[in-house]
Amino acid sequence: MALYASAEIRRTEYAAQAMLPPYTLMQRAGKAAANAALQMLSDGAYKARILVLIGPGNNGGDALEAATLLTQAGAEVVALVQGDVNKLPPDAANALARAARAGVHMMPPEQFFTIDGIAWSLVIDGLLGIGLQRPLDGALRSLVATINTLNCHVLALDVPTGLNADTGMVVGPDGIAIVADQTITFINDKTGLHTGDGPDYAGKVTVAGLDILASLAPPAHCWLNTPDLFDSNLQPRARDSHKGSFGSVAVIGGASGMSGAAVLAARAAAKAGAGKVFIGFLDHGPAYDSNQPELMCRVAAELDLTSVTLVVGTGLGTSPPAHDLLVKTLMTPRDLVLDADALNLIAIEPALHQLVAQRRQSALHTIMTPHPLEAARLLGVSTANIQSDRLAAARRLAHNFNAVVVLKGAGSVIAHPNGDAIINPTGNPALATGGSGDVLSGICGALLAQGWSDWNAAMGAVWLHGSAADLLVSQGCGPIGLTASELIPAVRSVFNELVYSRSAAG
């Protein structure tokens, strides 16, 4: 589940190459790519017509080796060679010679644009791989644009051409990248395949380790989220339990006209397992929640904050009373989730930064859950800056505020103050709806109340939140039109299934 930056992958690759005969890694990569291609062909290689895009580096060599093996398996393979074949690196030049001897047809790019109507079975993208720093332009941009219009499956090798392997963003403000159905990535998994634009362009990601010794990889500091990472918290409940066994949560927010945000967070906290849940409304909220009367509604100023886990900011507003209430919660020695308007208030007052950062020194757990705009306000940059490198932004926030940070979005990033990070693979566009973030903050609060650390609670909450959306979409509810309130019972279902299925299996 470890994820690596391209520079780390390069170091591992160079170390492995120093221990192996020349061309060994390219042969292994080509074989892995050919096997992945064969699995994507519904009728196998026989009569398949495969277009292989060949770039000027070793990524192109990997593709050429795959082209040779696919030709030998019975496919009709056309290699479109981009760049000067006389300047290929030694291993790639060797692969080119092998492909020519095997009968792979070499097509210059200019010929590709003159033909029309060919029904390709599969396209293999071996153009650029990792390390791309500038946007695609000229003939290469035109080629990628054309490939994206073809009615066939696309397999990318290592990383789709045009996608930054580290940040997960298409390179350039008006950039373009190959849209792949599947990406087979070599040596180790890449961070950029799982966040930002990455999931939309990489498709299904598989890893081919190329039989490289695991000891050659550097220590990991980023991982793909999985229940195995928070497994120690997934314990069935003892029969001799009571509501006090699972903690209490107080959701603080719900200013006039925004009480629904606090109600959503509180409902989520209850269905994610908190023993008791209060709503502390900034103004006079409803006397009770008719849909979930178990929630205890109060005026926030009258709540005893010293015996509850706090979820602060959902619908809080930014008025002076909201500010004063936030300060009170930051100074309360209780575990705390900061969301929405709590983050906006912190962003405009440096003194509040210090209150947040000092909490960890007192062994208090703190989770911050910004979306990109809130993250931009907290760091004093643009939203585009945040999205250009989501992993770096989340790490910077965690360091600055000495808190666990969940940077929401496609491939939500969870960052620890020590620099470790998690990228979450669950979820889908159904979560792009009002109130979804309030539900997440409520889940975070419930897990903290049940004794989870802020690191584990953030991982668990984000995984459950995304998995609930995935479950609903699989059942035909969404992604279009799914509402935040529909997520809440699905979170409960996923959570119970996760805990008790693992218990039965164990």
Summarize the annotated binding site for AMP as residue ranges: 408-412, 437
- Distance from C-alpha of 337 to C-alpha of 253, rounded to nearest angstrom: 12
Residue written as token pair 């895009």: 53
- Distance from C-alpha of 479 to C-alpha of 465, rounded to nearest angstrom: 14
Q: Which of 206, 214, 164, 162 is nearest to 186 (CA)?
A: 206
Single-letter residue type at 90:
P
* 138: number of Cβ within 10 Å: 7
The binding site consists of 58-62, 125, 129-135, 158, 161, 261, 315, 371, 408-412, 437-438
What are the residues whose beta carbons fall under 8 Å from the beta carbon of 241, sequence distance 6 or more? none
Q: Which of 309, 311, 368, 308 is nearest to 344 (CA)?
A: 368
**Spatial contact of 433 and 483, defined as CB atoms under 8 Å apart:** yes
Write out the two tokens for 409.
């979005």
Q: Provide the CB-side half-sphere exposure for 17 (13 A, CA).
A: 14
The CA–CA distances, whole Å, from 13 to 2, 94, 186, 408 equal 16, 19, 10, 32
Write out the two tokens for 426.
């669950």
Report the phi/psi class of residue 377: left, alpha or beta, with left for phi > 0 and alpha for psi in -120 to 50. Answer: alpha
Q: In the chain, count of helices (H) and strands (E)? A: 17, 19
Q: Which of 149, 139, 145 is nearest to 56 (CA)?
A: 139
The helix (run of H) or strand (run of E) holding residue 259 is helix 259-271
**Spatial contact of 142 and 115, defined as CB atoms under 8 Å apart:** no
The binding site for K(+) consists of 59, 125, 161
- Distance from C-alpha of 180 to C-alpha of 52, rounded to nearest angstrom: 13
The helix (run of H) or strand (run of E) holding residue 500 is helix 484-505
Cα 48 versus chain centre, distance: 34
Residue 157 φ/ψ, nearest 5 degrees: -100, 120
The binding site for (6S)-NADPHX consists of 58-62, 129-135, 158, 261, 315, 371, 438
**Spatial contact of 280 and 299, defined as CB atoms under 8 Å apart:** yes
What are the residues whose beta carbons fall under 8 Å from the beta carbon of 240, sequence distance 6 or more? none
Please list the residues that pair with 126 across neighbouring strands: 54
